Copies of this chain bind each other. A is one copy, B any other.
Amino acid sequence: MRIVVLAGGIGGARFLRGLLAAAPEAEITVIGNTGDDIHLFGLKVCPDLDTVMYTLGGGIHEEQGWGRADETFTVKEELAAYGVGPEWFGLGDRDFATHIVRTQMLAAGYPLSAVTEALCARWKPGVRLIPMSDDRVETHVLVETDGERKAIHFQEYWVRLRAAVPAHAVVPVGAEAAKPAPGVLEAIAAADVIVFPPSNPVVSIGTILAVPGVREAIAEAGVPVVGLSPIVGDAPVRGMADKVLAAVGVESTAAAVAAHYGSGLLDGWLVDTVDEGAVPQIEAAGIRCRAIPLLMTDLDATTRMAREALALAEEVRA
């Protein structure tokens, strides 16, 4: 079985662990969001790709969900001693090495997809991880501070401001001119199932879908497309997805997110048991829906979620 997963960072990475356990024989291709990539200290940082790579490769800081386990921050402290920031982005020493290798390879002319493959040769994540595009796409958020609107990098909005200022729009700058990375459309066309994990529907999966050709390829793949709601009981399971959903005019409910993807794209949708009441409404919109526990509290719970997603896909297929 060939499974294609569109993934952001923490939510996607944790779900993938469950999927690997649920379908150990499957060939899994992960199309990773690169819209939250950022250049820091002259280095190219790809937070979502790294979170997937570290999580599946056993290098992740488990409690935090991002960054490396057993991390130290000497380089960052020294940079601060030079007066060089930003200090709000937590790059550790181990993590720095990843960005140094990536930046060096990019400077040598390798595309991001080849660099990601090279990095994964160390981590052996058990999936094929492909960035959504080799072209630069950078998610910007239109915020309002002191009565003035300005566009800032998603990481500044998310990490520095903790999404605490009103967001009026989310723009994946460069997406319209980006091409899917080599292997992305091929993997989608060859997929038996396509899964949207409980990643952020706007700045993670939404950004991947904004790369011209990706949404169309998924819609035309002719295979079940199933997703898991990142919203449980009107609030994001983690993160601040509600803030960016509001910016694109979508309510923070499992049903609204399903409708946002739309029945033209999505065939099946898993909501949490607390949202069972929304199932009829979602099914009425043409999306097959089941209510199951959606909290990824441990690997067992996550594996059950992945199994349910695959079962729902089979239901859709039948």
A residues apposed to B, CB below 8 Å: 41-43, 72, 74-76, 78-79, 81-84, 93-94, 96-98, 100-101, 103-104, 107, 118-119, 121-122
Contacts and interface: CB of A to CB of B under 8 A. Distances in A.
B74 A104 contact: no
Contacts of A81: 97, 122
A24 to B, nearest CB: 26
Q: Is the interface of A mostly helix, strand, loop or mixed?
A: helix
Given A41-B104, A100-B79, A101-B79, A93 B122 contact: no
B107 A78 contact: no
A97 B78 CA distance: 6
B104 A78 contact: no
B72 A98 contact: no
B96 A82 contact: no
A101 B84 contact: yes
Given A82-B119, A122-B81, A122-B83, A75 B93 contact: yes
Contacts of A93: 72, 74-75, 78, 93
Nearest to A107: B42
A111 to B, nearest CB: 16
Nearest to A71: B74
A96 B93 CA distance: 10
A288 to B, nearest CB: 43
Contacts of A79: 97, 100-101
A61 to B, nearest CB: 14
Nearest to A119: B82
19 contacts: A41-B100, A41-B104, A42-B107, A72-B74, A74-B74, A75-B93, A75-B94, A75-B96, A76-B97, A78-B94, A78-B96, A79-B100, A79-B101, A81-B97, A81-B122, A82-B119, A83-B121, A83-B122, A84-B104
A81 B70 CA distance: 15
Contacts of A96: 75, 78, 96
Contact of A100 (B42, B72, B101): B42
Given A97-B78, A98-B78, A119-B82, A104 B42 contact: yes
Nearest to A42: B104
A74 B94 contact: yes
A107 B100 CA distance: 15
A76 B93 CA distance: 9
A96 B103 CA distance: 15
